[in-house]
């Protein structure tokens, strides 16, 4: 590039200060030598792909060609601002059927990473895990265990944990023995336009805040969408989650989680389940033919020693949802008797009644309080209907969802 001096006698043009600032910021943050590292399927795919992930620098794209990558061990990425991109979730497949270790298929421990347009199949552990990775994007990724629901499948399909800024968009997961999409101990989260099936939990938001779960299809899981807060974890106090405009349909797969796992206690046929969380809104969803309960609100049922932990649901808002069928095969103690007492099916909203404090800020219609059924059995239960009370207005909470900047990385 040549430089031509400008005469000092020529008139000077002033550049607006805002443009100067923007250009300067871009110059500081843009990688100087970003490159595309192409990786094809075929012989030695394991070593070639891992080498590409190790050598990638900020701004680089690791471009995976169409084809089946036969892998024997897990992969890892620890460079910031890297994109791992395939040719499509059905065209580029990372096949871990021959994986020798028990870990995840891909582990990401760096910030500003985008994973898109590829599939992960048959990992021995979790499908894709990002840990402590801020501003992470999963876009049009598929994670599958091809033999269907089995206890020996990996626990989580898509698994970001301990992150600020998470976008999971347009992904597909099936066969996870815990949760298809799990976001834990994180904040500023969007889970949208995904399909999860044949997993124990379809989507689980655990010990996390400021989450938006919208436009997803969850079907043929044990439970559709779970929002939990558990004790004795590094981050607790989950809340401020919005579950809206999802299709939660026929989640009727028998629970196949390993014994002792917290989701092993999720009843087959649960649509949306809120446990021990603060300020969760459930509105605009279509809940269809979930045989235990369409919406289930419960306290944490196990003993705990952490004095800072609150086991009860608080400030739960159940708005208007489309409810069709369901509640006709409740997998709870005395469920058949209880359904019979209500004409063959439980009402659409069920509360375990275990908390002493009214858990709802807003309730769109009557709910069934089990009041003892889940702890003492049918002989101690006092099930009864509870009516909506005057809604409480909650203000001052942060916005829900991932930072808007992440949307720019989730484009076709």
pLDDT of residue 377: 52
pLDDT of residue 380: 63
Length in residues, the chain: 412
Q: Is residue 379 part of a domain?
A: yes
How many domains are contained in the chain? Answer: 1
Q: Is residue 300 part of a domain?
A: yes
Q: Is residue 68 part of a domain?
A: no
- For 68, the token pair is 């089946």
Q: What is the pLDDT along the chain (412 residues), one digit of tens a residue?
A: 333 333 333 333 344 444 444 344 444 444 667 899 999 999 999 999 999 999 999 999 999 999 999 999 999 999 999 999 999 999 999 999 999 988 999 999 999 999 999 999 999 999 999 999 999 999 999 999 999 999 999 999 999 999 999 999 999 999 999 999 999 999 999 999 999 999 999 999 999 999 999 999 999 999 999 999 999 999 999 999 999 999 999 999 999 999 999 999 999 999 999 999 999 999 999 999 999 999 999 999 999 999 999 999 999 999 999 999 999 999 988 899 999 999 999 999 999 999 989 999 999 999 999 986 655 554 566 889 999 998 888 888 899 999 999 999 998 8
Q: Is residue 55 part of a domain?
A: no
Domain that holds residue 286: 211-409
Handedness of CA 144, 149, 154, 156 (dihedral sign): positive
Q: Is residue 113 part of a domain?
A: no
- For 283, the token pair is 């509105």
Buried/exposed 12-41: b ≥16 CB within 10 Å, e otherwise = eeeeeeeeeeeeeeeeeeeeeeeeebebeb
Q: Is residue 336 part of a domain?
A: yes
Rg (CA), the chain: 24
pLDDT of residue 169: 98
Q: Is residue 80 part of a domain?
A: no
pLDDT of residue 393: 86
Q: Is residue 324 part of a domain?
A: yes
pLDDT of residue 101: 86
- pTM for the complete prediction? 0.91
Helix H or strand E encompassing 55: helix 45-55
């Amino acid at each position: 590039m040549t430089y031509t001096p400008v005469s000092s006698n020529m008139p000077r043009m002033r550049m607006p200060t805002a443009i100067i600032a923007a250009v300067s910021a871009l110059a500081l943050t843009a990688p100087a030598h970003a490159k595309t590292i192409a990786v094809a399927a075929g012989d030695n795919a394991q070593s070639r792909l891992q080498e590409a992930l190790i050598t990638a620098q900020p701004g680089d794209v690791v471009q995976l060609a169409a084809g089946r990558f036969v892998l024997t061990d897990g992969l890892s990425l620890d460079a910031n601002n890297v994109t791992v991109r395939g040719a499509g979730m059905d065209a580029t497949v990372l096949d871990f059927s021959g994986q020798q270790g028990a870990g995840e298929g891909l582990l990401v421990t760096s910030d500003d990473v985008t994973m898109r347009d590829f599939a992960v199949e048959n990992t021995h552990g979790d499908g894709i895990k990002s840990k402590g990775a801020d501003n992470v994007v999963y876009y049009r990724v598929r994670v599958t265990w091809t033999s269907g629901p089995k206890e020996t499948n990996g626990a989580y399909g898509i698994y970001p944990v301990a992150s600020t800024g998470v976008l999971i968009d347009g992904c597909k997961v099936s066969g996870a023995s815990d949760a298809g999409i799990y976001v834990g101990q994180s904040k500023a989260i969007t889970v949208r336009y995904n399909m999860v099936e044949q997993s124990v939990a379809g989507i689980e938001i655990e010990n996390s805040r400021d989450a938006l779960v919208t436009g997803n299809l969850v079907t043929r899981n044990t439970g559709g969408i779970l929002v939990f807060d558990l004790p004795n974890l590094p981050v607790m106090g989950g809340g401020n989650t919005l579950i809206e405009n999802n299709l939660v349909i026929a989640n009727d797969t028998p629970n196949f989680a390993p014994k002792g796992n917290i989701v092993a206690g999720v009843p087959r046929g649960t649509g949306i389940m809120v446990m021990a969380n603060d300020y969760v809104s459930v509105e605009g969803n279509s809940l269809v033919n979930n045989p235990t309960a369409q919406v289930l609100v419960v306290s944490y049922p196990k003993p705990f020693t952490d004095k800072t932990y609150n086991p009860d649901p608080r400030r739960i808002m159940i708005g208007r949802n489309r409810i069709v069928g369901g509640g006709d095969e409740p997998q709870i103690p005395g469920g058949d008797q209880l359904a019979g007492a209500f004409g063959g099916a439980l009402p659409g909203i069920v509360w375990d009644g275990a908390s002493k404090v009214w858990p709802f800020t807003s309730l769109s219609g009557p709910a069934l309080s089990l009041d003892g059924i889940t702890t003492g059995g049918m002989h101690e239960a006092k099930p009864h209907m509870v009516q909506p009370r005057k809604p409480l207005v909650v203000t001052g909470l942060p916005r829900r969802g991932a930072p808007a900047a992440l949307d720019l990385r989730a484009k076709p």
